Amino acid sequence: MYDLAIIGAGWAGFNAALRAKKLGLKVCLIEGNQIGGTCLNRGCIPTKALIQSAKAYSLAKKISVFGIELENLHINFSKIQERKDKIVKLLGQGMQSRLVGIDFIKSYAKIVSLNEIKVADGIIKSKFILIAIGSEPAAIPGLAFDQEKVITSSDILSLTEIPQSLLIIGGGVIGCEFASLFSILGAQVTIAEKMSRLLPTEDREVSRKIEVIFKKKGIKVVTGVDRSSFDLEIYSKILVCVGRVPNTKGLGLENLGIELKNNSIVVDDYLKSSQDNIYAAGDCTAKVMLAHYAAYQGERAVDNMISSFKLKADHAVIPSCIFTDPEIASVGLNEDQALKAGLVIKVHKFDFLGSGMAHIMDETEGFIKVISDDTEQKIIGATIIGPKATELIATLSVAVRAHLKVSQVRDMIFAHPTLSESIRESLN
């Protein structure tokens, strides 16, 4: 019998397995598809690999700004895809190599009792079970995916050519990333969002800024509409990005007394399901569908299984990164959220037009916006749109997590000339 059986080798399950091994548990990791789950194979890694190629092309198109001349610049999309696939394969091999001491079982799984899991070769018994089976793209009623014209965020990663015209339904994180990517590569992109603005959960000012930038780049942005407003026949491809849903079907949960809500596994603050020995982590809990939070949940779930001192899975300070061009990142409360919570706040802001390094990089679009409470002057949130936003947010994540005051960050010495010194400038 195992101490712990983990179903799903995505970022939650994989990191949970490593934590369990470190703690000396006898653990197995069960996965019916590829190791790495959505993040490695159909999400974070392949999309960012494609985005990096697009950024390189974008830079090459304006390379004369830096005093360099290029001739015969063109896109070889098959090589872009080959590079992406090579990165995914390499990282998958790296993950596999780290599973020494963990039994990796390549099989689909079904939980048949509170301590038994059916796999291809028979029944596995385990004291604890961690469900980390992730999520899948949500569909729109009446618009079925056909993997040809109407496609998911997974399907689009396997395209063999750049679509001439692309309609993206959904103006959230995934939709905006693909709009930015394929616009740079030359597609005629239309992005539609039924809410009144793109990225409706982000800072309102950032949403307005990215919409203006998108329109400058030739992306058609339509908000406050649904799919019925479009003639779908005129587009080469239709990408549906309206969120993700937990992938819990077929696992046998309904027969085990495990509470579900909209197909997600209901867990308490310690990631325990309605059954004492069964925990869940990652997208299947529908808490925060981000790979880095899934990894955190997986590790925290393992700790709580074996420790008498339980730790809550805190989801108050989670950085969010959007790899558009320019990048967007946020942590903690944005301005609207802070005001809605009844807080008296101060807004600190710095435009990248004032950054020496931003001018050196020729990437001056955007700003840093930091929110502090007006009573104790503690930093409670931040949003960045601009160059390397997804890297810069780490400093402000530490500030929010550690309850640092404005003066504590402002009085730090940041290296010059760097983008990071813009954080200090925003607090002056």
Contact, 159 vs 238, CB < 8 A?
Answer: no
CATH 3.50.50.60: which residues of the chain? 2-136+245-306, 150-242
Tell me: the pLDDT tens digits for 244-268?
999 998 899 988 999 999 999 999 9
* Three-state SS at 286: coil
**Which residue type does 176 have?**
C
Tell me: the pLDDT tens digits for 32-69?
999 999 999 999 999 999 999 999 999 999 999 999 99
For all residues of the chain together, what is the average pLDDT? Answer: 96
Burial of 16 by CB count in 10 Å (0-12 exposed, 13-18 middle, 19+ buried)? buried
pLDDT band, residue 203 (cuts 50/70/90): very high
pLDDT of residue 226: 86
pLDDT of residue 316: 73
Q: Domain 2-136+245-306 has what CATH class?
A: alpha beta
Sorted by sequence, the CB contacts under 8 Å of residue 337 that are 6+ apart come out as 381
pLDDT of residue 228: 85
Q: Does a cis peptide bond (omega within 30 degrees of 0) precede residue 319?
A: no
Rounded CA separation 349/384 (Å): 10
Q: Does a cis peptide bond (omega within 30 degrees of 0) precede residue 326?
A: yes
Q: Are strands 188-193 and 264-265 parallel, antiparallel or unpaired?
A: unpaired
Active site residue 416: yes
**Which residue type does 386 have?**
G
Contact, 257 vs 111, CB < 8 A?
Answer: no
Sorted by sequence, the CB contacts under 8 Å of residue 34 that are 6+ apart come out as 40, 41, 92
**Domain 326-426 superfamily per CATH:** FAD/NAD-linked reductase, C-terminal dimerisation domain (3.30.390.30)
Tell me: the pLDDT tens digits for 126-184?
999 999 999 999 999 989 999 999 999 999 999 999 999 999 999 999 999 999 999 99
pLDDT of residue 398: 97
Q: Is the pLDDT of residue 425 over 80?
A: yes
pLDDT band, residue 311 (cuts 50/70/90): confident
**Which residue type does 59 have?**
L
Rounded CA separation 334/401 (Å): 15
Beta bridge partners of 12: none
Closest CA to 59 of 365, 386, 367, 362: 362
pLDDT of residue 31: 97
Catalytic, out of 315, 359, 403, 416: 416
Closest CA to 391 of 359, 348, 360, 357: 357
Tell me: the pLDDT tens digits for 378-406?
999 999 999 999 999 999 999 999 999 99
Beta bridge partners of 167: 190, 238
pLDDT of residue 97: 96
pLDDT band, residue 23 (cuts 50/70/90): very high
Tell me: the pLDDT tens digits for 280-291?
999 999 999 999
Tell me: the pLDDT tens digits for 325-364?
999 999 999 999 999 999 999 999 999 999 999 999 999 9
Q: Is the pLDDT of residue 315 over 80?
A: no
pLDDT band, residue 270 (cuts 50/70/90): very high
Pick the CATH number of 150-242 from 3.30.200.20, 3.40.50.720, 3.50.50.60, 3.40.630.30: 3.50.50.60
pLDDT band, residue 230 (cuts 50/70/90): very high
